[in-house]
Amino acid sequence: FESDATVATVPIGYADGVPRRLGLVGGEVLIGGKKRRIVGVVTMDQLMVDCGDDHVEVGDEVVLIGTQGKETITAEEVAGHLDTIAYEIVCGIGPRVPRFYPRGVNG
């Protein structure tokens, strides 16, 4: 880091389907409605996120694929960083990861 920064530890890793090298190729997550860069190599059960000088707290929601505030990260975007297809990303997400499905108009 070129200056002081807050680094958040997120309890998800390659055992959950997050590719190990995602942090080395520009991968991001959403925290506080902003895209935050994953730093370093994703470990088995955690990854680190550069939150700059923004305040984050334990328990803040982290979105890997989806929308938070006005920002969105798609499976296609994640796949693009890794030179693969979105289906490989989505199919790799393990059973420990909670899924939230938006309700449809009639839902």
pLDDT tens per residue, range 42-65: 999 999 999 999 999 999 999 999
104 found inside a domain: no
The answer to whether 17 and 72 have CB atoms below 8 angstroms apart is no
Residue 93 has pLDDT above 80, yes or no: yes
Q: How confident is the model at residue 3 (pLDDT cuts 50, 70, 90)?
A: confident
45 found inside a domain: yes
State mean pLDDT over 16-21.
Answer: 96
Beta pairing partners, 7: 50
66 found inside a domain: yes
State mean pLDDT over 71-78.
Answer: 98
- pLDDT at site 104: 67
- Which domain CATH number covers 51? 2.40.37.10
Burial of 101 (0-12, 13-18, 19+ CB in 10 A): exposed
DSSP character at residue 89 = H
Residue 14 in tokens? 């390659």
The answer to whether 8 and 56 have CB atoms below 8 angstroms apart is yes
d(CA 41, CA 20): 6
Residue 107 has pLDDT above 60, yes or no: no
The model's pTM is 0.89
State the residue range of the domain holding 22: 7-92
Half-sphere exposure of 41 (CA within 13 A, CB side): 3
- pLDDT at site 45: 98
